[in-house]
Each structure stands twice: as C-alpha cells, then as structure tokens.
Structure 1
Amino acid sequence: MDEQLATPSAYKPTVLLVDDEESILNSLRRLLRGQPYEVVLAGSGAQALEIMAAQPIDLVMTDARMPAMDGATLLAETHRLYPATSRILLTGYADLTMIIKAINEGQIHRYISKPWNDEEMLLVLRQSLEHQFSERERLRLEHLTREQNDQLKALNATLEKRVLSRTSELQQTADMLDLAYDELKRSYVTGTEVFSLLANLRLPKEKQTNRPLIELIRVYCKAQSMDESSVRDLTMAAALYNVGKLSWADRMMIAPSDLLHSTDRELYRTYPTQSESLLMTLEPMKDAARIIRHHQERWDGSGFPDHLKGDGIPFGSRLLKLAVDFIELQRGLILERNMNSDEALLYIRKYAGRLYDPDMVEDFVQACAAFLSDVTLGDPSVKVLGTRELAAGMVLARNLNADNGMLLLNAGKVLNLPLVDKLIAFEAMEGAKYSVFIKEPEEPAPSL
C-alpha cells in the first residue's frame, strides 16, 4: 500500500458500481470507458459486499433504492468494514431520510441525483478519488512522523548531533503534513460547490442561486481582505445554505417566501436548522453549519431560528443574509416579482438597521457593483428618484420596468415633460411606485 501511495501515477483505482437495474450499470460502464479506473459491477448490496471481501475497492457508488439491502445500508456496512473506501449515493428520489441515513451511518463523501450530468458525474468521481488519495497521503505522513519520533527518542541519549539533524527533518515532515491537511480542507470546499450544483438541478435555471452566491461572497471577502479560513467557511455556507430545502415539494422550492402561508411558512422557517443538522456531522463543515443556522436572523431580532439581535448574530451569518437576499430578490424567491440588481440593493438599503447590519450595507453595495456590470447604485453620478422628481433633460441610467415586468423605457432615454406626465399617470393607474435611476449629465469641457 505504501508503495502505491508513493507512486500514485502507477496505481489504477478500482470503482465498484452497484445498481439493481442492469441498464443503469451499462450506462455507467459506458460513461467510465476510457477513464483511468478499473470498473467492477454488482447487481445488489450482497454481491457488492462479496466483491469487496475478495478484492480492494477504492470507491463504491450505489443506487439508493434496491431490494433486500438499500444503498444507505450498503454504504453504512462499507464504512464499518472498509472505512478507507470512498462512498457515493446515487438516487432519483428527494428522500431526506435516506440522505440523512447515508450521511450519518455511511458517512458518504458525495450525493448524486438521477438523472445525472455526465461531466459532473466524472468530476465527482475524480474529486472523490483525489480526496481519498490526499487522505491516504496524510495518513502516510502521520505514520512517517510517528516513526521519526521513535527514532529520535532512541538517538536522544547519545547522539546530540543526530538529534539536531533529525529535528530539522521532522519539521519538514510537519510542514508537509500541514500542506496535506490544507489540501484536504480545500477539497471539502470544492466538494460542497459540486454538491450545490447537483442540488440546484431541482430548480429551473432562473431560480438557481448557489453559483452567483458563492462568487459574490468571494468578491466581498477579497475586497475586505478576509483570512483564508473565514473565506473557506463562508464559501461552503454559500454553497449549501439551502440544502435543508431538498425535501420540499417543487412548488414550494420556487414560491416567494413572503407569500407562503400557515404550514408552508412554518416549514420554511425550519430550513436553516435542517441545513445545519445535515452538515454538523462533518468536522470541516461545523463553522459553515453555524453560519447557515443563523443566516435568517435579523438585525432587530425578528428573524429565526433563535431571534438573535445585532452583533449577537455571527458576522458570517450577517454577510450571508445580505448575499442570499440580494440574489433571491432577483430570482423572485422573496417577493412576487423579480427585482433588478439596483432595486434589490435599494431594498437592502431601505431595511438596513431592521433586517441587515447597517455598518455592512455600503461595503456590500460596492462589492455588488464590482461583481455585476449592471449595478449602477455604486456610481456616485447615479441618483434614484420618484416619478414626481423627474425633469426634462434627465437621462435614464438603466431600463425602467413596470411591476409586471413590462419594459417602459430603455436606459439612455432622455426625458421630456410629456413623457414624465405619462409615467406619473401610468404609475397612478397601476397603483405602483417606481424607482427611476437617473445619471447626472457630464459637465461640458471648458472652452479655450
């Protein structure tokens, strides 16, 4: 085994695929044809255990729903008997109980939904095996460190010079171990991002939030020069903040939260704690799980689940709240209509001190302006006016849409008095209140 670890390029991992449907196994075998893996197939959990007893297996990917022994039970038994084997659950069902059982008892590394995306499937397999190699390398280095410590004790009494030399070698080994552990933690971040992409397949593309949320969090953290550990925890929290929603019905997954009633609203308020409970069993995820638990708390104490207030809310949760609401307001997941980016930032500014940390809002606006090219609110030359404050000659900084999404005026339009009067009349007829983004005209260059 040590020889294999020392030369990973010469080692070809063995992947065991388990499904009671032969067509699925054939599809997976075709997908993995040409990949640098030995592929072994099993039609049941019992057959899979027989194969693992007869030969080393690096990774097991099993269907969740199988007769006699389901996937979660097989992975739990695999974890008990062969803890070093990577474990992946493959299922077409949004079965939270099955997922929790697989995580808690089988300690699975990944969860993949059917139907799968071929490229994502190959990425998950590659990353799982890379993670396994990193873990084996870490254990190898730990073993090496223990051996060197024993040698150091034996030499300590008589060989002062060799002690000094061995101490130097030991420090180098410790540095290598730190690097391996850092790589392991980075692989967790990558794993959470891949899982979030798979979980997002439950939603229509226009309702997906996790990818832009991760990127926005990174932009904010970079602007604030935050430390690597905080960035890692915030990135994982952004990737998995809504994992507790996976057991919901599709209609509720895409419904605006402000329109939910009675039972649905009560279920909605449990998703931060559900997300936390799914992640707490994973040691590198504990800080991210705490951020997720409190990201729906409000600055004035009216949030959930614990009604924390002000600085009592963890900083990471306050930031995640800003980012989640900014993205979800644009996806129609909070209010009935989809806001544009500037309208979402106006909403956040309006509720600073009630929903959001007032000291973070302006830094967040600047991060959004750096993140999205269509954000004009960070431009000091752009003003937000009501229709009755408009005047002839003003120029629109961005498109003006009605509440139903209809385009009223294009960005760059120069206003005149008849057009302003029409806007006021239309606003009154619709019972709406428009925020109009106006760009101040540039002053002409002085004549020579």
Structure 2
Amino acid sequence: MPVLLFVDDEPNILSSLRRLFRPHSYKILIANSGQEGLDIMEKETVDLVISDMRMPVMDGAVFLTNVKARWPNTIRLLLTGYADIQSTIDAINRGEIYRYITKPWNDNDIVLVVKQALERKYLENEKKRLEELTFRQNEELKSLNANLEAKVEERTADLKKAHASLLVANDKLKSNFLTSIKVFSNVIEMRGNKLVGHSRRVADLSRKLAKKLNLDSRETQEIFVAALMLDIGKIGFSDELLATPVSQMNGEELGQFHKHTLRAEQLLMPLQDLQTAAKIIRHQHERFDGRGFPDGLTGENIPFGARILALASDYDNLQNGSLVAKRVSVEDAQAIIIRGAGNRYDEKVVLAFRQIINNLPDDVDDKEISIMHLEPGMILSADVISKDGMLLLPADYVLDQHIIGKLALFEHPASAKLVIRVYSNRRK
C-alpha cells in the first residue's frame, strides 16, 4: 500500500487532503510543519509527499530540499498559490519536485497526478530492477559460455546440461520483462527486421482513427496502449518465424501464429489496468464477416478497439512485408484496405481511414511542432506520449518555459522524437 505524507500548517487543508485520498487505498500520514514531516520520514517509508509552500519556520521549498537530499526516491509535490510563482520556481529548482499544484485544487486533478506519479515511480523501479537482473544474467552467461567453449570437446554432457539451464534462465528473464510490459512495450521491435517501428506506427494510426470516430479519451488511450503491445504474444517466436510473411507460413508456423493473441492476453492477465487492452489484442485478427480468429466473432460483437487495430496493423504489415512476401506500396495498401470494407473490416473504420488518408480537415485547429519551436503559453491539443506509451503531459496543458526545458531534456538522451501538437490559435 503506497504511503502518502501531507505537510501543511493549516489543519483544514490536511483534513481535506486526508478525506480526499482516504477512499483510494493509500496509507495517509500528516504533519503540521516541515520539521514534523522530517521527523515522520525518519520513522516511516514514504512514497509520496505533498507539502504546502507557505509554512512558518520551514517553508515548503526548504522542506522538499531536505527530502530530496535525504530521501531522493520519495516523490515530491508542492501546493502553492498563484502569488507564489517565483518561490515555486525556486522550489522546483532546489527540490526537484515532480509537479506543483495550485490552490484551490481540483479534486480529480490532484488524485490523478498522485496516481500517475506513483505509477511512474513503480515503473522506474521495475525497469531498474530488470536492467540489473539482465546485466547480472548476461555476465553469468558470458562466463559460462567461456568455460563451455574451452571444454566443449571433453565435456559434451556438461555442455548439454548447461544449455538446459540457460534455456530456463532465458524463460525466467522473459517472464520478468513481461510483468513490466507497459515499460517494455516495444521489446519485440528490438528483434529488428520488419517489426522495427511497427507498433509505434500502428499506435499512431489507431489513435487517429479513434479520434476520427469520436471515441472518448479513455477509449482512445486504451486502443493506443493495446496497439503498442499488439505483438507481445510473439515474444517466443524464432527469428525465422518473425521474418516469414503470413502468406508463406506452413501449417505448424500458422498454428503458432494463430496463438499469439491468446498468449498476449494471458501475459497481461495479472495487470488489472490492462484488461481492456488485453481484450483488444486478443481480437485483433477477427474479421467483420466472422471468418477471423481466435473466436470467429462477427460485426458489432468484435470490440471496437479490435476493429480499429485490425485495420491499422494490416495497413502497416502490407507495407513492411509481414503479410505477403512482396512489400506493397502505400497506394496499393490503401486500396486493399478500402476493398476490405464490410468483410475484413468495419465499414465505419474504413470510412474514418479514408478521411485520414485524404487529409480531410479535422474539427481541431492544431499543428505538430518541434520542441525547439515551443513557446510559453502554447496549449497542447493532444497528449504527449513517450516512446514506451507513458503519458508525459495531458491535452490542454499550458506550457511554460520550465516544462519546455524538461521536454527538451527528456527527448535528447533517448534520441526519440516526441510528437507534440498544439492549438494553432490558442494561448494563455
């Protein structure tokens, strides 16, 4: 159970925060001053702290700076008024806070910020653990392989036994990666070949289709996440099978291929927040006319997200050679998709696809912009999503110079261009 600490010299503020977060299965701690907050953290392991800016003796900036120095892994949030903007900037620089929240706050917003912060902390910790595990096992494998190569002729039996151990270790490593699938959503693409960039392109097109079909932000996000992970069931495929177009697979290979959506659903089963995405992935190969797999669903019985994913995935696979041996041109791929309306694909989804490829104007007057051209006051027209599908900033967020700098730092080390869209004529 995550532990939250609220620090404020006003009892009514502490009461409001405790009442707001009590139904969300958090352990709540409160402190009436910065020093009391530090004393509590000496005794308790705190995951996230929310501190008011204006407090006597030790203000929020000083308190959070102390928290950063002594407990750097604790997430730090700052409550502040509009009049405290300069102090807030100083606090951000000194205490490296995760987010500041203006008073009076919106209950839904502050609950969402805390939830996202805790999820991000969990994923970062899990990523670090898995990277350390991978490094250790790789070092063990290197050492073992060196010994085996030196003794291969005289110790064939030992080599076979070691090989079996390596297979078990490899299976365990895969299992550990799959428990953190939201972080490693593109693990299949690391195999290279036709899969490179596939899930990202499918996710982008799926999100455009969902928006064109007027799905709400929650459904759009679920479809986007499902598209990022559409191929995780192929993680056990051999390199040869991954490189073989579906049209050229033999019976045994087709049997493995037809099971990949079921395997994906099983892998995601322990993750409660991804159950809708798992259902979409399971049904991505259903056909509108009922001749698909694994369940032979027809028409409206197929989840809407799966109908969108089917079209987006096929469109990219036609062009990268995953469906047929010869890569199909963009124009021919579009024609094939359009001809499939009513049998392979939902006619509504095909219509949205045609609107997108014909560049029909959207209702939203926005544009894509690079980080170097961002200016304070611009308003995001769409979520800013990292390469691994994590929400960095929500739509309608008003940019300031500090956040623009953070985005630039985030993009540079990863060498991954962020897709940033802003309203053309709206500023604050």
What is the TM-score normalised by the length of structure 1? 0.45
What is the TM-score normalised by the length of structure 2? 0.47
Q: Which structure's CA Rg is the greater one?
A: 1
